[in-house]
């Protein structure tokens, strides 16, 4: 926990004079500007046939607002930068890190890798040497890959992308004899909950065992695995 206004004030001071943070923020902001500018130039040079990707759609919204002064919708340039920054930081890097951990655990556990291959082979999804004859993935096929889904959940349980989640107390309360005052920010250690033996009962919760999601841990409490936060402000993933 941290105090509401004192820590926030110190946090802002620290970020303001932290040259590494300022440099990283400047580089990411410059990248976002280049992406938006590139898309603007592309739309100006050719006849626009409609948005083909997220940045294209965002810039189109900006152009619509610019072309109609009386429009009550559309994003400002600042809002577009914020959306692009969120996409860069939370959209690409998080996915690549999750894939890296997936590959790591698969390599460390060949028996798990083999079982995934068997499941993919059952659905004719195992690639051949020439990368041909693989049917397109459909929602129905994806939902039938039960074991692969268990592996994905186990990877994210042991290697969550976010280290913690935060929540601001709306009233004074007491949790396990710890007083929490209204306005304080509470930090929730996601990884600690994910390996807590009080909530995970199948095998050692510190061990990589995808089968736990086929056993008693299949119906675990939803708040014992808050990879994307919780409540109506949860991350859309």
Please give the full DSSP string across the chain, using - where no structure is assigned. -B-SHHHHHHHHHHHHH-HHHHHHHHHHHHHHHHHHHHHHHHHHHS---S--SHHHHHHHHHHHHHH-TT-S----HHHHHHHHHHIIIIIIHHHHHHHHHHHHHHHH-HHHHHHHHHHHHHTT-S--TTS-S-PPP-HHHHHH-HHHHHHHHHHHHHS-SSSEEEEE-SS-EEETTEEE-TTPEEEEEHHHHHT-TTT--SS-TTS--GGGGGTGGGG--GGG--BTB-GGG----
- 186 falls within a domain: no
Average pLDDT over residues 39-54: 66
Say which residue, 4 or 77, is predicted with more confidence. 77
Say which residue, 237 or 229, is predicted with more confidence. 229
Pick the most confident of 45-49, 64-68, 75-79, 194-198: 194-198
- 205 falls within a domain: no
CB 166 within 8 A of CB 188: yes
At residue 52 the predicted structure's pLDDT band, cuts being 50, 70 and 90, is: low
- 120 falls within a domain: no
pLDDT of residue 25: 80
- Mean per-residue pLDDT over the chain, rounded: 81
- From 37-51, 79-93, 116-130, the region with the lowest mean pLDDT: 37-51
Closest to 155 measured CA to CA, from 118, 129, 116? 116
CB 40 within 8 A of CB 59: yes
pLDDT of residue 94: 84
pLDDT digits (tens, 9 = 90+) for 166-207: 888 899 999 888 899 998 888 889 999 999 999 999 989 999
- 195 falls within a domain: no
CB 232 within 8 A of CB 217: no
- From 87-91, 152-156, 157-161, the region with the lowest mean pLDDT: 87-91
- Percent of the chain at pLDDT exceeding 70: 78
Regarding pTM above 0.85, the answer is: no
- 25 falls within a domain: yes
- 114 falls within a domain: no
pLDDT of residue 70: 44
Average pLDDT over residues 121-141: 76
Give the separation between CA 219 and CA 216, rounded to whole angstroms. 7
Give the separation between CA 76 and CA 84, rounded to whole angstroms. 12
CA-based end-to-end distance of the chain: 26
Say which residue, 137 or 8, is predicted with more confidence. 137
- Percent of the chain at pLDDT exceeding 90: 31
**What residue numbers bound the domain in which 78 lies?**
18-107
> How many domains does the structure of the chain reveal?
1
């Amino acid at each position: 926990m941290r105090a509401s206004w004192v820590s926030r004030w110190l946090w802002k001071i620290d970020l303001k004079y932290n040259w590494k943070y300022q440099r990283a923020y400047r580089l990411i902001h410059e990248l976002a500007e280049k992406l938006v500018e590139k898309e603007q130039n592309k739309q100006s040079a050719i006849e626009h046939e409609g948005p083909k990707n997220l940045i294209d759609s965002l810039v189109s919204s900006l152009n619509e607002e610019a072309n109609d002064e009386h429009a009550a919708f559309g994003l400002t340039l600042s809002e577009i930068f914020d959306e692009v920054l969120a996409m860069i930081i939370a959209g690409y890097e998080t996915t690549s890190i999750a894939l890296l951990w997936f590959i790591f655990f698969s390599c460390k556990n060949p028996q798990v890798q083999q079982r995934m291959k068997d499941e993919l082979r059952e659905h004719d999804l195992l690639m051949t040497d020439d990368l041909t004859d693989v049917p397109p993935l459909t929602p129905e096929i994806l939902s039938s890959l039960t074991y692969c889904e268990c592996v994905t959940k186990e990877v994210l349980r042991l290697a969550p992308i976010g280290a913690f989640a935060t929540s601001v107390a709306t009233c004074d309360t007491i949790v396990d004899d710890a007083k929490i005052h209204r306005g304080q920010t509470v930090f929730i250690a996601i990884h600690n909950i994910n390996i807590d033996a009080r909530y995970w009962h199948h095998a050692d919760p510190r061990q990589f065992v995808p089968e736990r999601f086929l056993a008693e841990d299949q119906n675990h409490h939803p708040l014992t695995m808050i990879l994307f936060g919780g409540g109506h402000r949860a991350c859309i993933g």
